[in-house]
Structure 1
Amino acid sequence: MGKTLGYARISTDQGQDATSQKAVLEDLGAVVVFVDIGNGSKLTGRDQLEAALRLLDEGDTLLALHPDRLARDTGDLLTIAKRVIEKKAVLRINDPAITLDGTDIMAEVMLTVFGLVGMMEKHFIKARQRRGIEAAKLRGDIYKGRPATISPDAVRDLRQQGFGATQIAKRLKIGRASVYRLLAA
């Protein structure tokens, strides 16, 4: 019997914590838990998921608590499942209980259905967001998005001290693209 690798994802590190997901995954047998921070609407930038997939060997299991922790898109969810099966490993979702090893068409159907549910949920979230923005505009409120979380002054100060964009990004725990954007503003 192979090892079980857990995968958890939180949308943001502001007000969210993966501790409870990690604890449940470990209780379910995960020997290590990989955690990504970011939305599940795309696979790009999910370094920990990629690491977990690379480490899977034949007979291993990739375990997630819910399908939407893996992806909020049917195609992405099935891509992940295909990559797991190609390694002769098993994808196991805890809730709802789905075990996909490439031999059970019903497990694939269930995974597809829950992928569709995730896509619908993503659509409804975006629709509510658009309605909220439109309502704010009708009231005369100026919609500016969420408040800035990065201090432009801190970026400029570090730049004046001679730090490069990569060093600034690491020190402030932000993306390099954000550093470039703030320096250009």
Structure 2
Amino acid sequence: MGKVLGYARISTDNGQDIASQKAKLEELGAVVVFCDIANGSKLDGREQLEAALRLLEPSDQLLALHPDRLARDTGDLLTIAKRVVEKGAVLRIDDPKIVFDGTDMASEVLLTLFGLIGSVEKHFIRARQRRGIEAAKLKGVYKGRPATIDPAQVRALRDEGLGATAISRRLNIGRASVYRMLAV
């Protein structure tokens, strides 16, 4: 049997602690634990997951505590599982107990099911977030992100005879932003 590589993820480091996941993975036999602070709804920017996948060798295991620590999407979860298997390794999830080596249809069904559950969960999280933002807007608490571009400055440069491309270069902003400011 090869080495066990653990993978832990938290969404933000604002009030969340990865230490408990790391300790549990080590308790379950992980010799190294790769940790990402990233949103689980996409694979982009998950450098530690990529590093773990690159290091896998035949007969190794990639261990995660829960399916949603790997991904909150069926396609992403199955992509990770298949990348593990392509390396000749095994994906092991602690809760629920899933061992995926690419030969057992039941394990693939379970991964698909938990990926679907993650997708549904992601949908509800976004819906709650939208409702919270709308409620905060009604109270006047949520104003959105502060503007970073001064429309008056854009108009002043246009009045000097500069075109959108020149304005965008001068202010180090996108040309679409210039057009948006001039339309207001």
State the TM-score, normalized to the length of structure 2.
0.77
Residue 145 of structure 1 deviates from its aligned partner by 4.9
Tell me which amino acid in the other structure corresponds to 1:76: D
Match for residue 61 of structure 1? 61
The residue that corresponds to 1:159 in the other structure is: none
Please state whether the residue corresponding to 1:75 is helix, strand or coil: helix
> Distance between the aligned counterparts of 1:145 and 1:29, measured in 2?
45
Deviation for aligned residue 1:134: 1.8
**TM superposition shift of 1:135:** 2.1
**Which amino acid is the alignment partner of residue 60 of structure 1?**
D
Which amino acid is 2:69 matched to? Answer: R
Instruction: Write the distance in 1 (CA, Å) between the matches of 2:3 and 2:136.
Output: 51
Q: Give the superposed CA RMSD.
A: 1.7
The answer to whether the 8 A contact 2:137-2:143 is kept is: no
1:48 and 2:53 matched: no
> Counterpart of 1:28?
28
Question: In terms of Rg, which structure is larger?
Answer: 2
Q: For 2:9, give the aligned amino acid.
A: R
1:169 matched residue in structure 2: none
Aligned AA (2:64): A
Task: Name stretches of at least 5 consecutive residues in structure 2 with no aligned partner.
Answer: 147-171, 174-184
Distance 1:19 1:142 in 2: 34
The Cα offsets for residues 63-112 of structure 1, whole Å up to 9 and x where unpaired, read as 00000000011110000001001011000000000000011000000000
Equivalent residue, structure 2, for 1:144: 143
CA 146–70 in structure 1, closer or farther in 2 if over 3 Å, else same: farther
Q: Which residue in the other structure is 1:166 paired with?
A: none
Matches within 5 A, 1:119-134: 119-134=119-134
Gaps spanning 5+ residues in structure 1: where? 148-179
CA distance in 2, matches of 1:52, 1:138: 45
Partners of 1:72 and 1:117 in 2: CA distance: 8
Distance 2:31 2:115 in 1: 26
Using the alignment, how far apart are the partners of 1:72 and 1:37 within structure 2?
14
Provide the rounded CA distance (Å) in 1 between the counterparts of 2:2 and 2:19.
Answer: 24
Query: 8 Å contact 2:8–2:21 — kept in the other structure?
Result: yes
Q: Percent identity?
A: 77
Separation in 2, partners of 1:136, 1:146:
13
Aligned residues: 148
Shift of 1:14: 1.5
CA distance, structure 1, for counterparts of residue 144 and residue 70 of structure 2? 27
Deviations 1:31-88 (CA, angstroms, capped at 9, x unpaired): 0000000110110100000000000000000000000000011110000001001011
Structure 2 residue 112 is matched with structure 1 residue 112: yes
Q: Equivalents in 1 of 2:105, 2:10: separation in Å?
A: 29
Q: Distance in 2 between matches of 1:34 and 1:87?
A: 18
